[in-house]
Amino acid sequence: MKIKVCGLKQPDNIEAIIALQPDYMGFICYGISPRFIADLPVDVLDRLPQAIQKTGVFVNDSLENISLLIKEYNFDAVQLHGYENPEFCEALKKRVTVLKAFGVDEGFDFEQLNPYAGKVDYFLFDTKTPKHGGSGLTFNWDILDKYKMDLPFFLSGGLSPDNIEQVLQIKHPQFYGVDLNSRFETAPGVKDIEKLSKAFELLRQSATNEI
Ligand SMILES: O=C(O)c1ccccc1N[C@@H]1O[C@H](COP(=O)(O)O)[C@@H](O)[C@H]1O
């Protein structure tokens, strides 16, 4: 199980999370988010070990701006939370790993994902809200049984210390990773290291038990 921690913007907090060795760290490049990285110095991200995938999170941004920020922050991956179409994703996939996020609700139609086959690396299933992400709300995970493609996915949307044990009960063959964000915070963009450590322990313990 891969672990992504998202929405980081404070250098000391970022250092503490590096020590937990997540697989991905996410940086919000969306101006209206309370987790927007704003003028986070590039050298803070340069200190991330290579094993951690530096991920820029975007919402309906232009290819030009995303490309600029990939270059500036040396992102390994992008997570796209808006209405980015398959061709847009494909253009980015030539340069970085692409996680395409979809907001899921009870009526979510998994057929709409078909055109993205081969054009993204992973799907990320989040809860559908007008905010595009970072809502802290969960969706009904039973609906994931309807997902039949062979592309792996991350689960996100309101994952928290209170539901991580339930997350571990999800047995979908394409369930690849979790994205931990707002429900692990002391303030927007600042993660609670103790809460994260406990979740990492549970997630890693379960991965060991599966071997
Ligand atoms: O965190 C944000 O502020 C954010 C804003 C816009 C797009 C995505 C954002 N974060 C991503 O949202 C999901 C769900 O987060 P949460 O657990 O519900 O807080 C997660 O994948 C973040 O990467």
Question: For residue 194, what is the domain's CATH number?
Answer: 3.20.20.70
CA distance 6 to 180: 6
ipTM of the complex: 0.99
Q: Indicate if the pLDDT at residue 209 is higher than 90.
A: no
Domain membership flag for residue 211: no
For residues 165-181, average pLDDT: 97
As given in the structure block, the two tokens for residue 116 are 């993205």
**What is the distance in A from the centroid of ligand 1 to the CA of 171?**
23
Write out pLDDT tens, residues 197-207: 999 999 998 86
Q: Which residues constitute the domain of residue 179?
A: 2-206
Determine the residue type at 196.
Answer: L
Q: Is the pLDDT of residue 141 over 70?
A: yes
Contact 69, 103 (CB under 8 A): no
108-113 contacts, C-beta under 8 A, 24 or more apart: 108/143, 108/146, 110/146, 110/147, 110/148, 110/149, 113/147, 113/149, 113/151
Q: What is the pLDDT of residue 39?
A: 84
Q: What is the pTM of this model?
A: 0.96
Q: How far is the CA of 211 from the centre of ligand 1 (A)?
A: 30
Q: State the Cα–Cα distance between residues 181 and 178, nearest whole angstrom.
A: 10
Asked if residue 89 is part of any domain, the answer here is: yes
Q: What residue ranges line ligand 1, CB within 6 angstroms?
A: 6-7, 26, 28, 30, 33, 35, 57, 59, 81, 124, 126, 132-136, 156-159, 179, 181-183
> Which residue's CA is the nearest one to ligand 1's atom 5?
133
**How many residues in the chain?**
211
Average pLDDT over residues 181-186: 98
- The answer to whether 58 touches 28, Cβ cutoff 8 Å, is no
Quick check: 1 pLDDT over 60? yes
Q: Is 74 helix (H, G, I), strand (E, B) or coil?
A: coil
What is the structure's pLDDT at 123?
98
Q: Which residues of 74-112 are buried (b: 16+ CB within 10 A; e: fewer)?
A: ebbbbbbbeebebebbeebbeebbbbbbbbbeeebebee
The pick from 4, 83, 126, 186 for probing ligand 1's pocket by mutation, whose C-beta has the most ligand atoms within 8 angstroms, reads 126
Torsion of CA 70, 121, 158, 164, to 10 degrees: -120
Residue 76 belongs to a domain: yes
**What's the pLDDT at 211?**
54
Mean pLDDT of 43-64: 97
Work out how many domains the chain is built from and give that number: 1
Pocket test of ligand 1: the residue of 23, 180, 182 to mutate, having most ligand atoms within 8 Å of its CB, is: 182
Q: Is residue 99 part of a domain?
A: yes
